[in-house]
Structure 1
């Protein structure tokens, strides 16, 4: 099966931009050394010019094309999934249309802000939901408006469903495998963002206590799910 590469290969950080001191922090930080002082508290994300292109090399042309039964034949490219438009998680009352967010100038992942602060977002450097690899959806746990889109995310349990509605009218449905909480300073980047053999989903928000001195929540909640 062809594998979709995720743009977040060695991502060590998602951080709240804008410098606001209210409790809307959403971020992760790897326990591994950051690439430089400018990266703290988040670190640069390794972006690919085509994050969903397969990493498999195309074989060189030969004098005779291999037969369809030949084990050396290159499999056809995987058809692109339609772009996501909405995320619904009935068990915790989530129903939000999706922003498309990428990277900030410093290489950290953008997060919802301004009038969109309480909406969920798909990180457009990750696979589209339904494509091989871990699609990433993010959102705040709270905001100046009160509880935000993923306020109850940590309540999810294995077996519950997450639905991502797509632009072509189809829906990708994922089943929760597990819900983890990690200290941001020990965030397991590779475990969260590593390539997968099938379509998976990561839903990320903040968790734990609010650290007023740091200006962030101390933990991240990560939901791991696979497509069914």
Structure 2
């Protein structure tokens, strides 16, 4: 992908027009229990990752499910009245500010550091995933906003593979309040604080809540989780991290 560091990002309206068709494309992918929002599991992914041990309210999350969302592009309901970071920015000034492409991701609480691949959709219209020598790298979905732009930037990665644990094997160990740092090609860093973690069956993946518009910059980090199914060759669930820029 050609870098365009220093070039102004698309306008807010343009970004929203860009995201909305993507949600429809991903809905085809996420339906029917296909793998990790993007096929982030395969026949080699047999090493069981940690379970999501506790929901933010203290309940067991091992069997936690997320109801299938109604088709909607509205942002998910906020759990507190505090405005999202960046929600009160001057729109014209924000549109003119350049946001460079993401280069790497760091999650200190679980010791993860990875450069970021830039992946889009494959020939079948499904979300492309890390493969080959890049299998254990994390990837930014380039149909989502750049980290630091309004909306949910999406980062994904495998949980395990033939060689053992992969980049997001310990994702379920994260807790509310932990941070995710995304370094960008111009040397700047966007820091996001986790406000929710969910373990969701793939056949009820919360598409609108993951990919829907948000009032400020947010981040989603996604991998596989739950029980590995010998029948499907995939893990049954997704682990989804929700975070806001701070």
Bin for the TM-score computed over the shorter chain: 0.7 to 0.9
Residue number in structure 1 paired with 2:39: 16
Higher relative contact order (CA 8 A, sep 6+): 2
Query: Do the aligned partners of 2:42 and 2:234 also contact (CA within 8 Å) in 1?
Result: no
Aligned pairs, number? 183
After TM superposition, give the deviation of residue 124 of structure 1 in Å: 0.4
For the 8 Å contact 1:80–1:131, the answer to whether it is kept is no
Pick the structure with greater CA Rg.
1
Structure 2's unaligned 5+ residue stretches are 1-10, 31-36, 48-66, 70-90
Q: Tell me how large the CA RMSD over aligned residues is.
A: 2.4
User: Where has structure 1 moved over 6 Å in runs of 4 or more?
Assistant: none
Equivalent residue, structure 1, for 2:178? 160
Structure 1 portions without partners, runs of 5+: 33-73
Structure with the higher helix share, 1 or 2: 2
Q: Work out the CA distance in 1 between the residues paired with 2:68 and 2:243.
A: 23
Q: Does 1:75 align with 2:89?
A: no
SS at match of 2:210: helix
Aligned with residue 90 of structure 1, among 108, 111, 132: 108
1:111 paired residue among 118, 129, 139: 129
Q: Deviations over 1:133-170 (max 9, x none)?
A: 00000000101111000000011111111000000000
TM-score (norm 2): 0.69
Comparing 121-130 with 2-11, greater Cα deviation is found at: 2-11
User: How much does 1:78 deviate?
Assistant: 4.0
Shift of the alpha carbon at 1:80? 3.1
User: C-alpha offsets along residues 152-200 of structure 1, whole Å, 9 cap, x if unaligned?
Assistant: 0011111111000000000000000011010001111001110011000
- Which protein is richer in strand relative to its size? 1
Question: Which one of 203, 206, 213 corresponds to residue 188 of structure 1?
Answer: 206
Q: Structure 1 residues 226 and 135, CA, compared in 2 at 3 Å: closer, same or farther?
A: same
1:212 Cα deviation after fit: 1.3
TM-score by length of 1: 0.74
Mapped contact 1:89–1:95 kept (Cα < 8 A): yes
CA distance in 2, matches of 1:141, 1:164: 19
